[in-house]
Chains A and B, each alone.
Chain A
Amino acid sequence: MLNRMKHYPMVLLIILNLMVMNVWAKNIDLSTLPNRDSVQLTIYNSENLTLVRETRQISVKKGQNRLQFSWVNTKIDPTSVQLNIISHPIELQLNNTTFPHDKPQMLYWHIMSAVESLVTVEISYFTSGISWRADYSAILSQSGKTMSMDSFVSVSNHSGEDYENAQVRLVIGKINLVEQVNDLVGQAQYKKEKRKRVKQDMSLRIAKATMSQRAGFYFASNELMEKEKEVEKDSLSEYTIFTIDGTETIPNQWSKRLRSGFSKDINIDIIYRYRPREYGDHLARILLFTNNKKSSLGDAPLPEGKIQLYQKNKQNTLTYIAGVTLKYTSVDDKVELNTGVDPDIYFDLMSLKNWKDMIWMHYRKANVYRRIGDGHIIVDHNSRVAGWNEHQMFAQHVRNYTDNPINVEIRRVIKGDSILKSQLDIKKHDFQTVDIHSHLKKGEKQALLYEVDTKKGRNAKQNQVSLETRIITYPTW
């Protein structure tokens, strides 16, 4: 620790003053520096907040003891620092805490002890500057039907303090800080310990079974080969806690990345969607998969993070697809990744033909309406068009130049009192939006024809689109 002081000016110190008198020397002190025995970090990313719980062993004398705790150049919240006496809760009593006026980032605990003993204390506090983030790396198979995905968590320490051999917990979810933090960590700790006990029991059973085997049977010795660390995922109320197995050392200014999961055969769907409000004015290639057991996922929510997507190519190397953000995904929820435009899909909407009918004229003098073509038209130069039906025929051209069949979903907003006529597979999304679905084989070219009839002016009675099945043929001019 002292050695590190040379390298890192930002340190946490706990000093036990050896004087047990009631009057403290003003400037000359003799102190010992108890080391940290264990440290646990619980990182709440949503708030830039980390709960640090550390245990240290201190020697106390019978009577008054003074404990100095300082955190120069760190990002600790001074109001959050707490001392908890673990080993002798009855014999030791924390009398008061003093924050000296002339020394910022320091406090004194005054402890009255009934014994002279080595005592274990826990110091907890909040610090900022430690953060974690999730990221993912996925490799699609050549066929594009499955993918493997590595999930990672990276912890960055910019708190000003080194944390050696720390147990690291990561909290996913937006927390309310007022009362819940300790409960959360406490319950997760209990769960973890319970599971650990089950594991220990299992190991014991295996060991016993091995011992009972005849001579000549050996366990393959792999002691030196450290296993990949497991990241345990616990859900607790609205939160999920990732606990990294064992301990990690994360010096100040360093980052560390660990694999939190690996899924080999995730079934994926690729769908091409045109939804200008969501994805911009182009046909976007959307990669879909579900965070469930079937996808060899689903043991925990997927925290938000960047995902890098690659695909295996014919040369068995990787082709880069895209780097996009994976949003927080609950268990059994769908993941949607917009991987951008595929140049091998041609997509173009063409307006083919327009025409009008049901044109109504308004005769102002008589205040009557007459329809053009009904045989009762009276020529009046002062009459005005008051209502009409507009017909528009469209061809949505889609060409699939990729090596695989594709599914296309096109969302169109059709305003006004309209009827959409076509033979296509169309479903209404809302009162004025439709989704056109189509499937294209490899190399297939389609012109998806549809007609939109809109009642305008006084003809309009509603403001919604309705669907009608009708064979639409390419126009001739």
Chain B
Amino acid sequence: MPYKNIYRFIILSLCFLPLANSYARIKLITLPVREHVEIQLENKHTTIIEEERIVPLKKGNNNIDFSWHNSSIRPDTIIFRVLNDESGLKTNILSVSYPPNESALTWKVSANQNGSARVRISYAINRLNKKYHYIARANQDESKMQLVQYIKVDNQSGEAFNEARMNTGSEHSVTLPMEIDETQQFINHNYTDVPIEKTYTVNAVQFGYQDRTQDTLNVLMHYQIHNDKAHNMGTQSLVAGKYRIYQQDKEGTAVFVGEDWGEYTAIDDKTDLFIGQARDIVVKRVIERKKHRLINGNLYNLDVLLSYEIENFKNKPVTLIIEEFLPYLNNETLSAISENGLEWEIGSDTTLSGKPIKQRTNSETVAYQIKLPARTEATKKIKLIKKLHINFKNQW
């Protein structure tokens, strides 16, 4: 690092002055250079710098100045540690003094002999931020993908770091120079052969209608990413960030198919990436029946039958998930939401096969999964009619 830069920004210096005048700001100083710099990017909000320098100490008391003009160090986080004692050099940190109107401090350190001490200074720094983003490249049949995690480190902190090791919490780290106002981007993880689970989902409330007059629902496509060993991942939590998704076409060219914000995904957890709307799967949702069955006085049950007309124009089988948000359905049918908890059960007229999906069903939502077979040349398309019968009970 050129000396000019050192003077401008963070300076660690040793003052040889009588200690009685320790607050006089005229000094003769030596400038120990940084031996090693580590940028800790693990914490979501706070970046920590750890730098090591070799500081010559004389027997007796020494003043070590640390100043950070024009850089955004958080002074209350500064930690000073002397690392090695191999040579028999023993040190005591006696005090820290903060001069007025300066971004600086002075450690008063006593040493038992003349020698060089390796010191580590750690501090939090503002405006040295990181962002995660991902590139997913799916193969042509969307069975597998490559997922690359990038980290972009933007240095607006006012300080340059020559050859800094970026520590992101993963087992490996990269060493890069970080100049002022510079942005560095590097690959943190590269996962290959990640099996894809693609889902198609309809939900009249959450995803809405494609055409309300025709009762056709939006069919949303998701890639489900399982951050576990079974899916060739699971080495580190996936930090939230933007996922850009590409798919290979017949010529082997990557075509951009969509992007989404991915949530924080811990090891063994999963996340859904929305990749767009399907056009070759058409779902029509109609309320076929709504019947008010009086029990007594103002107490009644409400009988609702939903009908789904599902068409698959694709040449391959797909899995469709149908979700119903029941408070809305109750409201849709009777225009009043009960103040009490919604009591419901699945009625006998339901033709959706199997049980509701456990992970997606609760007191307000019911979800079913349907396997749609591929269309054939003979049939041209696959059309299914499925019914969902919900009985809302004990309402008033």
Chain A residues within CB distance 8 Å of chain B: 135, 137, 154, 156, 222, 224-229, 248-249, 251-259, 306, 308, 310, 313-315, 317-321, 323, 343-344, 346, 350-356, 359, 361, 372, 377, 379-385, 388, 390, 392-393, 395, 399, 401, 443, 456, 474, 476-477
- Contacts A323-B76, A343-B266, A353-B363 known; A401 to B111 CB distance under 8 Å? no
The interface bits of chain B over 95-114 (1 if a CB of A lies within 8 angstroms of the residue's CB, else 0) are 11111110000000011100
- Contacts A254-B99, A257-B98, A361-B299 known; A443 to B50 CB distance under 8 Å? no
**B269 interface residue per 8 A CB criterion:** yes
Distance of A177 from chain B, by nearest CB (Å): 29
**B216 interface residue per 8 A CB criterion:** no
Q: Quick check: B100 and A254 within 8 Å, CB to CB?
A: yes
**B376 interface residue per 8 A CB criterion:** no
B345 neighbours in A (Cβ, 8 Å)? 477
The interface bits of chain B over 16-51 (1 if a CB of A lies within 8 angstroms of the residue's CB, else 0) are 000010110000000000000010101110111010
Q: Quick check: A477 and B111 within 8 Å, CB to CB?
A: no
**B13 interface residue per 8 A CB criterion:** no
Tell me the bound Cα distance from A152 to B45 in angstroms. 25
Tell me the bound Cα distance from A224 to B19 in angstroms. 13
- Could you say which of B22, B47, B237 contacts A249, with CB atoms under 8 Å apart? B22
**B193 interface residue per 8 A CB criterion:** no
B363 neighbours in A (Cβ, 8 Å)? 351-354, 392-393
Tell me the bound Cα distance from A456 to B396 in angstroms. 14
Chain B residues within CB distance 8 Å of chain A: 20, 22-23, 38, 40, 42-44, 46-48, 50, 59-61, 76-77, 79, 90, 92-101, 110-112, 122, 124, 167, 169, 171, 173, 237, 264, 266-269, 295-299, 340-343, 345-346, 355-356, 358, 361-364, 366, 393-394, 396
Distance of B17 from chain A, by nearest CB (Å): 14
Tell me the bound Cα distance from A388 to B396 in angstroms. 12
User: Can you list 11 A-B pairs with a CB-CB distance of less than 8 A?
Assistant: A224-B112, A225-B111, A254-B99, A257-B95, A320-B124, A350-B362, A352-B362, A354-B342, A354-B343, A355-B394, A392-B363
- Contacts A137-B79, A323-B77 known; A385 to B266 CB distance under 8 Å? no
- Contacts A308-B77, A401-B269 known; A226 to B94 CB distance under 8 Å? yes
- Could you say which of B20, B22, B95 contacts A258, with CB atoms under 8 Å apart? B95
Tell me the bound Cα distance from A474 to B357 in angstroms. 13
A137 neighbours in B (Cβ, 8 Å)? 79
Tell me the bound Cα distance from A225 to B113 in angstroms. 8
Q: Quick check: A256 and B98 within 8 Å, CB to CB?
A: yes
Tell me the bound Cα distance from A97 to B115 in angstroms. 58
- Closest A residue to B96 using CB positions: A257
A253 neighbours in B (Cβ, 8 Å)? 99-101
Q: Quick check: B298 and A346 within 8 Å, CB to CB?
A: no
- Could you say which of A252, A255, A377 contacts B97, with CB atoms under 8 Å apart? A255
Tell me the bound Cα distance from A99 to B81 in angstroms. 53
- Closest A residue to B36 using CB positions: A317
- Could you say which of A226, A249, A353, A392 contacts B61, with CB atoms under 8 Å apart? A226
A372 neighbours in B (Cβ, 8 Å)? 295-296, 299
Apart from A137-B79, A399-B269, A401-B266, 17 more pairs, CB < 8 Å? A224-B60, A225-B60, A226-B110, A227-B92, A254-B98, A255-B98, A256-B97, A257-B97, A314-B171, A315-B38, A315-B173, A320-B47, A343-B264, A343-B266, A346-B266, A346-B269, A379-B296
Q: Quick check: A477 and B356 within 8 Å, CB to CB?
A: yes
Tell me the bound Cα distance from A381 to B295 in angstroms. 10
Q: Quick check: A354 and B297 within 8 Å, CB to CB?
A: no
